Structure 1
Amino acid sequence: MGKNNILKKFIKYVSLNVIGMIGLSFYILADTFFVSKALGSTGLAALNFSISLYSLIHGTGLMIGIGAATSYIFKRSKNNQKDANETFTIAVKIGILIGIIFLIIGQVFSREISFILGADSSTIDYSSTYLKVIFSFAPFFILNNILLAFVRNDSAPKLAMAGMLIGSFSNIILDYIFMFPLKGGMFGAALATGLAPVISIMVLSIHYFNKSNTFNFVKCKLKLKEIKNIFSLGLSSFINEVSSGIVLITFNLVILKISGNIGVAAYGVVANLALIVIAIFTGIAQGIQPLTSRAYGKKDIFELNKILKYSIITSIGLSTLVYLNTFIFSENLINIFNSENNIKLLNIAIKGLRIYFIGFFFTGINIVLTAYFSAIEKSKKAFLISICRGFLIIIPMVIFLSNILGMNGVWLSFVLTDFIVALISVTLLFKNKKFIDK
C-alpha cells in the first residue's frame, strides 16, 4: 500500500473513531452537567463515587469486543470464516452472560458498594440509585461495545461512529427530559445513560442485515480456549479502562480526607473533562487497531511503521492543542459544572486542571502503544503498560505525594505516573522494532 493510501486510511479510521469516542464520553459528561444543575455539589460528589464502576462495565465490553474483533480479523486473513463466526458468537454469548452477573450484583449490593466507594450519609442515596440503574443496563453497555468493535473492523467505521453519536445525543436529550420536566433526579440521569447503548445497538444492527456484513451467528458451544484468546487480546483495553475507575476510587478516598465532599466534587469536574481527552486517545487507538492488525497479518512492516508514526504524531499534536485550550479556558470549563458558584470548588478545580492535564502529553503515547502492541499480538507488552498505568505506579504515587504536597500531590501523581510509563512504553517499542526487523 502506498504512503498516501496509508495516510488516507489512517485519517478516515482515526477521525471517525475519535469523533465517535468523544460522543461516547458524553454518556457520563452529560450526567455530570445535568446532575450539577439539578443536585449541586452533593449530587456531583455522589456521581463521582458511582461512575468508577461504570468503567468496569465499559472496560469489560471493550475487552470482549476488541479482543474478539482482533481474533476475527486474524482468522479471516487465513480464510477461516467458520472459526471467525464462532469467535463473534462466543463474544456475544459471554458478553451477555457477564452483563447479567453485573445486573444481579447491582440489584443486590448497590448500597454496600456505594459505602465502600466513599459515599456518606449525604451522598449514599444518590450514589446507590445511580449504581443500581447503571448495573441494570450492563448487558447493553457490553453488547454495544462488542458490536462497535465488529462493525468498525468490518469496514464500516462511519456506521460505528453514527451509533456512538446517536446514542450519546439521545443520552443528552433524555437527561434533560428525565431530570427537569419529569424531575427524575439521579434515577433520571442513570436511566438516560442506560438507554443510550440500547439506541446505539439499534443503529449498529443495521450493519448485520447489510449485504456487506461478513460476521454471523453460528451454532457453537462456549470454548474455554477461545474465551481465553479473546480476553488475552482485549486485556490491555480492559486494564486501561478499569484503571480509570481504580484511579477515580483512589483519588476520591484520598481527596475526601484532604478537602471533603467539595474536593471530591472538584475532582469530579476534572475527571469528567479528562474523560473527553481520554476518549480522543482511545479513538486513535481503536482507529489504528484494524489497520495495524491487517498490516501485521500481511507482515507489511512499512505500513506498520507508518501507522505507528502517524499515531504518535497525532497524539502529541492533539495533546498540545488540548492543554493550551484547557489552560486558557479552565475557569469557563469548570463553571459549566459549578452551578452553585462555589469558590472553593472553582479554585481546587482550576489548579487541578492545569496540573493534571500536563499528564496527557504522555497518556496519549501510552494508550496508542498499548493498542499497537495488542494489535500485533504482543499482549504481554500491552498488559505491562496498562498494569503500570492502572495499578503498580499510580496508587502508591498518589498516596505518597498527597501526604507530602496535599492536593497538588494528587494532581502531580497522574502526571508523574504517565511520564514514567511513557519511558517504559518507548523502551518496549524499540526492543520490539528490533525483533520485527529481524
Structure 2
Amino acid sequence: MVKTNCFKEFAKYVSLNVMGMIGLSCYILADTYFVSQGLGTYGLTALNLAIPIYSFIHGSGLMIGMGGGTRYSIQRSQRDQQSANRTFTNAVYLAALFAVLFVSIGVFFSGTIVTLFGADEHVYAMSKTYLQVILLFAPAFLMNNVLLCFVRNDGAPQLSMAAMIGGSLSNVVLDWVFIFPCQMGIFGAAFATGLAPIISMMILSPHFIRKNNQFHFAKCMPEIRRFVRILSSGVPSLVTEVSSGIVIIVFNSILLNLAGNVGVAAYGVIANLSLVIIAIYTGIAQGIQPIISSNYGAKNTRNIKLILKYAMTTMLILSVLIYVTVFLGASQIAGIFNSEGDAVLQNIATEGMRLYFTACPFAGFNILISIYFTSTEHLRPAHMISLLRGFLLIIPMAFLLSWLANIYGVWCAFPTTELLVAAIGLLFYIAIQKKQKLANI
C-alpha cells in the first residue's frame, strides 16, 4: 500500500467511524437533554446515577466486538478464514453470556444498585426505572456492538457508520415522542434508548441478506482459549468505556457530599458531554484498528507508523477545536440542560467544563496508543494504560484532589490522571520502538 492509498484508507475509515461514534454517543446525550427539559433537576440527577451501568454494557459489547474484530482482521490478512469464522462464532457466544448476566442483574438488582449509587427518595423510582429498562435491553446493545465491529472489519465501514447514526437518530426522535406527546417520563427515555440498537441492527441486515459478509457462523463449541484471546484483545476498549462509568460513580459520590443533588445534576451535563468527546477519540481508534491489524498481519511496519502518525495529528487538531469550543461556549452548553434556570447548577457546570476538558489531548493520546498496542498484539502495555486511567489512578486522584481543593479538585482529577497516563504510554511506545530497532539490526 503506497503512502497516498494509506492516507485514503485512514481518512475513509476514521471519518466514517468518528461520525458513527458521535451518533452512537448521542444515545445518552439525547436522553440527558429531553429528561432535563421534561423532568428537571431531579430527572437529570436520576439519569446520571443510573448511567454508569450503560457504560458497563456498552464497554462489554465493545470489548467483545473490538477484541473479536481485531483477531478476525489479523486472521483474514493471514488467509485463515476458518479461524476467522470461529472467532466470530465465539464472539457471539460471549455476547450471549454477558447478555444473560446483565438481564439477570436488571431483573433482580436494579433497586439495590441505584441505592448503592446514592439515590434518595426524590430520584430512587426514576433511577430504578431507567436502569432496569436499559439492562433488559442489554442483549440488543451487546449484539449491535459485536456486529458493528465485525462489519467494519469486513470492509464495510460506510454501513457500520450508517447503522450507528441511524440508531442514534431514531433514539433522538423516539425520546421526544415518548417523553412529550406520550408522557412516558423516564421510562420513555430508557425505552427509546433500548430500541436504538435494534434499529441499528436492522440497518446492518442487508450486509447479510445480500451475502456480502465474509464472516459466518462455524459449527463449533465455545472455546475457552479463543474466549481469552478475544477478551484480552478487547480489554482496553472495555476499560475505556467502563472507566467513564467508574468515574461517574466516584464523582457522583464525592459531589453528593460537596454540593448535593444539584452538584450531581451539574456533573451530569459534564459527564454526558464527555461521553460524546471520548466517542470522537474512540471513533478515530476504531477507524485505525482494522488498518493497523491487517498491516500488522502482513508485517507492513511502515504503514502502521504512518497510520499512527495520521491518527495522532488528527486527534491533536480536534482536541484544540473541542477545548476552544467548550471554553468559549461553557455557559451556553450548561444553559441547554438547565431548563429550570438554576443559578448554582449553571455556575458549577460552567466552571467544571473549563477545568475538566483540559484533559482532551491526553485522553485522546491514551485511547489511540492503547488501540495501537492492542492492534499490534502488545497487550500488556495496552492493559496497563487502560487500567491506570480507568481505575488505578483516577479514583485515588479524585479523593485526594477533592480533599485538597473541594469541587475544583474533582474537576482537575480527570486531566491530571490522563496527563500522567499519557507520559507512561509514551514511555511504553519508545521502549517498544527501541526493541524493534534492535531486533532488526
2:399 counterpart residue number? 399
CA displacement 1:376-425 (0-9 Å, x = unmatched): 00111110000000111100000011011011000001110000000001
The alpha carbon displacement at 1:435 in A equals 2.3
User: Is 1:172 equivalent to 2:133 in the alignment?
Assistant: no
Q: Which residue of 1 aligns with 2:33?
A: 33
The 5 A counterparts of 1:202-217 are 202-217=202-217
Question: Which residue in 2 is equivalent to 1:369?
Answer: 369
Aligned to 2:138: 138
The corresponding residue for 1:58 is 58
Cα drift, residue 77 of structure 1: 2.1
Counterpart of 1:222? 222
Q: Which residue of 1 aligns with 2:409?
A: 409
Take 2:301 and 2:84, find their aligned partners in 1: how far apart are those partners? 25
Q: Which amino acid aligns with 2:428?
A: L
Please give the residue correspondences for 1:5-404 in structure 2 after superposition, counting only pairs within 5 Å.
5-404=5-404
Residues 208, 215 of structure 1: 8 Å contact kept: no
Aligned partner of residue 421 in structure 2, secondary structure: helix
Counterparts of 1:210 and 1:279, CA distance in 2 = 30
Amino acid at match of 1:435: K
Gaps of 5+ in 1: none
Please say which of residues 129-138 and 293-302 is displaced more in the overlay. Answer: 293-302
| Cα distance in 2 for residues equivalent to 1:152 and 1:19 | 13
1:64-123 residue CA offsets vs partner (Å, 9 max, x unmatched): 001111111222222221121111111112202211221111111100000011111111
Answer whether contact 1:65 1:148 (CA < 8 A) is retained: yes
Structure 2's unaligned 5+ residue stretches are none
Counterparts of 2:406 and 2:72 in 1: how far apart (Å)?
Answer: 48
d(CA) in 1 for partners of 2:187, 2:380 = 40
Distance of 1:211 and 1:251 partners within structure 2: 47
SS of 1:121's partner is coil
Counterparts of 1:46 and 1:436, CA distance in 2: 50
Query: Under a length normalisation based on structure 1, what TM-score does the superposition of the two structures give?
Result: 0.99
* Amino acid in structure 2 at the alignment position of 1:363: A
- Offset at 1:228? 0.6
Deviating above 6 A after TM superposition, structure 1's stretches of 4 or more consecutive aligned residues are none
Query: CA separation in 2, counterparts of 1:294 and 1:146?
Result: 19
Report the Cα distance in structure 2 between the residues aligned to 1:55 and 1:435, rounded to whole angstroms.
Answer: 36
Q: Normalising by structure 2, what TM-score?
A: 0.98
Distance 2:357 2:325 in 1: 11
Q: One-letter code of the match for 1:179? A: I
1:336 partner SS: helix
Q: What letter corresponds to residue 76 of structure 1 in structure 2?
A: R
Task: Give the secondary structure class of the aligned counterpart of 1:265.
Answer: helix
- CA deviation digits over 1:22-44, x for unaligned, max 9? 00010000000000011101010
Shift of residue 212, structure 1, vs aligned partner = 3.0
- Report % sequence identity: 50
Aligned equivalents of 1:12, 1:232: Cα separation in 2: 27
Which one-letter code corresponds to 1:313 in the other structure?
T
Measure the CA separation in 1 of the matches of 2:361 and 2:323: 9
Inter-partner Cα distance in structure 2 for 1:78 and 1:152 = 18
Q: What secondary structure sits across from 2:222 in the alignment?
A: coil
Residue 210 of structure 1: how far off its partner (Å): 2.9
The alignment covers a number of residue pairs equal to 438
Q: In the TM superposition, what is the alpha-carbon distance from 1:15 to its structure 2 partner?
A: 0.4
> Aligned to 1:281, what secondary structure does the other structure show?
helix
The DSSP-based 3-state class of the residue aligned with 2:205 is helix
How big is each residue's C-alpha offset from its partner over 1:212-231, in whole Å with a ceiling of 9 and x where there is no partner? Answer: 31001121100101101100
Once superposed, what is the RMSD of the aligned Cα atoms?
0.8
Q: Which amino acid aligns with 1:155?
A: G
